[in-house]
Structure 1
Amino acid sequence: MKTVELGRTGEQISRLALGCMIMGTVTPEDEAVTMLDRYVEAGGNFLDTADCYCWWERRGSYGGESEELIGRWLARTGRRDDVFLATKGSAVVRDLDAVWAGGRPNWDVAYRTFVGAGAKTLREAIDGSLRRLGTDHVDLYYVHVDDRTTPLAETLEALAGIVQAGKARYIGWSNVRTWRLERIRQLCAQHGRPAPVALQQQHSYLRRRAGLRHVSIVDDEQLDYLQAHDDLTLVAYSPILKGIYDDPDKRKGHGAMEPYQGPDADARLAAAAEVAAEVGVSPNALVLAWLLHQNSPTIAPLIGPRTLQQYEAALPALEVKLTDEQLTRLDTAGA
């Protein structure tokens, strides 16, 4: 498995990152452990989790199941030094009763009741994550959901303290507007704080539909910003959009498709299917391969397989070699 430098840190991370969000809840422990073992045996080293994973899968849970599972796996295998471990804070829900009042998790309420990125919250959150993971540090610590109610100076001071204490080596940000990211970087430069080296956003081959306002999906402005700042690596979550590229029936009415629906998406889906057939892989794997071919900006796709079968279905993307003509065809497809 090829690696890429994380920003300008000198750290080599796997080009394909393994998302552990549903490990320990939706994905049973034995299957999750097998995935972790096979990923590392294949040369992978970039594991991604968060303290809130996966509160929405178990009523009464505040999260932590994914970190706990990884902690057990690290303790059993002794592989802590073999992995680049990333986790996140700020998106635990304060009031579970309010979120579950209707019998199912209400995400609008959840977003209004996240604990946020206050200094005390982050300091307690990193300690909780380290305890569950069974380690004295993580390699990358993200602000999971940008908190615009807490002064950035407070958040950045807390993160600097976390890095200074050796509890995290680097910081990142997720689900954030480009103007906010620039402000964060300016404040870090002005006050000598550790600046983000990774940006985790939703990014795929499809482009979000015209007129959509969405804080988490990369747009043209954010791509331009990342191309101009190679000290930031884009960690692309939901790269295959819940697997919708392989299944036209699944795309119909699927929530993952809604932000992209339209003529542009139709044209790009057709192009992806065409090139996938030429190189002999599924459209899902083709999309991962296309992302792996991107160098400006550098992108590390973050897969989050639910099953071992889904994990194995992603691996052919690592071997795909796209020609310049195929890349051009994919890049220029659209309405």
Structure 2
Amino acid sequence: MVAYRHLGSSGLKVTEITYGNWLTHGSQIEADAATACVRTALDLGITSFDTADVYANTAAEEVLGAALKGERRESLEIFTKVYWPVGPKGPNDVGLSRKHVMEGINGSLRRLGTDYVDLYQAHRYDYATPLEETMQAFADVVRAGKALYIGVSEWTAEQIDAGQQLASQMGFRLVSNQPQYSALYRVIEERVVPTSTALGLGQIVWSPMAEGVLTGKYLPGQAPPPGSRATDDKGGKQMIEAWMRQEVLTAVQRLRPVAEQAGLTMAQLALAWVLQHDFVSAAIVGASRPEQLVENVKASGVVLDEDVMAAVDAALGDVVERDPARTRSPEQRPA
């Protein structure tokens, strides 16, 4: 069964492998397959589920809500987010204004079929709205009982610090940040992690397998496997392009003997590597087939020794992205 960890310094416990439906529910796979994946996640002991209003333009929340219907609500941890354009994408259908936050939470609750979410997250930082307005809106969402905890996603260290100061003044605290993080993408380590740790935020990391590249299924000099994310024109192909360079794919293949020696698949090694870091509260995994989850959850509880961690570093070498400036939000709200 999947192990639990505290979400930052809060009292909330979440499964260290969390099921996310970013590029799957309502987009890449049909509702029946999505429901099968959610049911498998539950059977495997995953009780934490991450979504967002923008995923498939609200359809992902609806699919997740339907899949979880009938489950004991108190036994689940449901996360969602607000910021990106939704609905008809009018001028107020985006950002972190009070209007959009309040309408966003109400819409998410309706689609998810629940009275509250456990974690409500600012999906990016909004430069067009005063931070005080955003944090006051989140404070009111918490006081109304519509969200139990508040988090952020892809905020810089400075933005997290300023947000936490305001949150504390308003009677709540930020408990989490949701950044991209993997053995290939470590941009949060220099600035975001130390600030978050000092302020009590845990990291709920997305793309721990670098869009699937760290599974080793993409081979240098060969076409992507049919049906893989790199062949998906609905969004998956665009997201994975940055990792499809030949030097990256070659470096990833050097991880194969490391995984074999550790008795793991390459996907399990990627997840286990992320979970070795105590600043990580959870790693988000998606799935288009239940069997993917069955294999991935085997990374929970795995302890990698220092030699394995060093071997991962040596294999990937200088293809690892470490630039802290890569943590950023759009300077302007997306149209």
TM tier, smaller: 0.7 to 0.9
- Tell me, yes or no, if the aligned pair for 1:145 and 1:174 is still in contact at 8 Å: yes
Q: Which protein, 1 or 2, shows the higher relative CO under an 8 Å CA cutoff with sep ≥ 6?
A: 2
Is the CA contact 1:17–1:300 (under 8 Å) kept in the aligned structure 2? Answer: yes
Is residue 256 of structure 1 aligned with residue 260 of structure 2?
no
Any unmatched runs of 5+ in structure 1? 55-62, 98-111, 209-216
What is the CA-CA distance between 1:40 and the residue it aligns to? 1.4
Confirm or deny that 1:269 pairs with 2:271: no
Does 2:83 match 1:90?
yes
d(CA) in 2 for partners of 1:32 and 1:224?
Answer: 36
Distance 2:268 2:78 in 1: 24
Query: Residues 132 and 43 from structure 1, CA distance in 2 versus in 1: closer, same or farther, beyond 3 angstroms?
Result: same
Question: Counterpart in 1 of 2:15?
Answer: 14
How far 1:276 sits from its partner (Å)?
A: 0.7
- Counterpart for residue 200 of structure 1: 178
Q: Which runs of 4+ in 1 moved over 3 A?
A: 93-97, 226-229, 249-255, 259-263, 265-268
Provide TM-score, normalisation by structure 2. Answer: 0.80
CA distance in 1, matches of 2:109, 2:238: 36
1:304 aligned partner? 286
The amino acid that maps onto 2:265 is S
Q: Output aligned runs, 1:135-214, within 5 Å.
A: 135-189=114-168, 191-207=169-185
TM-score (norm 1): 0.80
* 1:82-119 CA-partner distances (Å, limit 9, x unpaired): 2100011111247669xxxxxxxxxxxxxx99610000
Taking only the aligned residue pairs, the percentage that are identical comes to 29
In 1, Cα distance between equivalents of 2:18 and 2:290: 15
1:40 and 1:50 mapped to 2: Cα distance? Answer: 19
Partner of 1:104: none
Residue 64 of structure 1 aligns to a residue whose secondary structure is helix
When the two chains are superposed, the root-mean-square deviation of aligned CA atoms in Å is 2.7
Which of 210, 219, 223 does residue 241 from structure 1 map onto?
A: 210
Contact 2:33 2:288 in 1 (8 A): no
SS in 1 for 2:240: coil
Q: Counterpart in 2 of 1:42?
A: 44
Residue by residue over 1:269-328, the C-alpha shift from the partner in whole angstroms, topping out at 9 and shown as x without a partner, is 355323112123322221101112221x23411012222233233233236442232123
Counterpart secondary structure, 1:301: strand
Instruction: Encode CA deviations 1:244-279: one digit per residue, 9 max, x unaligned.
Output: 12122448997535279697x579635532311212
Q: CA deviation at 1:204?
A: 0.6
Q: Does 1:64 align with 2:46?
A: no
1:193 CA displacement: 3.7
Q: Deviation of residue 155 (structure 1)?
A: 0.3
Residue 286 (str. 1) matches residue 269 (str. 2): yes
Question: 1:218 and 2:185 equivalent?
Answer: no
Name the residue aligned to 2:31: 29
Q: Is the CA contact (8 Å cut-off) linking 1:53 and 1:64 kept in structure 2? A: yes
**Does residue 79 in structure 1 map to residue 84 in structure 2?**
no
User: How far apart, in 2, do the equivalents of 1:93 and 1:221 lie?
Assistant: 31
The reply on whether 1:53 has 2:37 as its aligned counterpart is no
Report the CA distance shift for 1:205/1:299 in structure 2 as closer, same or farther (over 3 A). farther
Q: CA deviation at 1:125?
A: 0.7
Work out the CA distance in 1 between the residues paired with 2:246 and 2:298: 29
Cα shift at 1:143: 0.8
Question: What are the equivalent positions in structure 2 for 1:296-335 lying under 5 Å apart?
Answer: 297-318=279-300, 320-331=302-313, 334-335=317-318
Secondary structure at the aligned position of 2:179 is classed as strand
Change (3 A) 1:206 1:261: farther
Q: Is the 8 A contact 2:3 2:301 kept in 1?
A: no
8 Å CA contact retained: 2:139, 2:172: yes
TM-superposition CA deviations, 1:173-218 (whole Å, max 9, x none): 01222211111112223x234221010011110136xxxxxxxx53
* SS of the residue 2:111 aligns to: helix
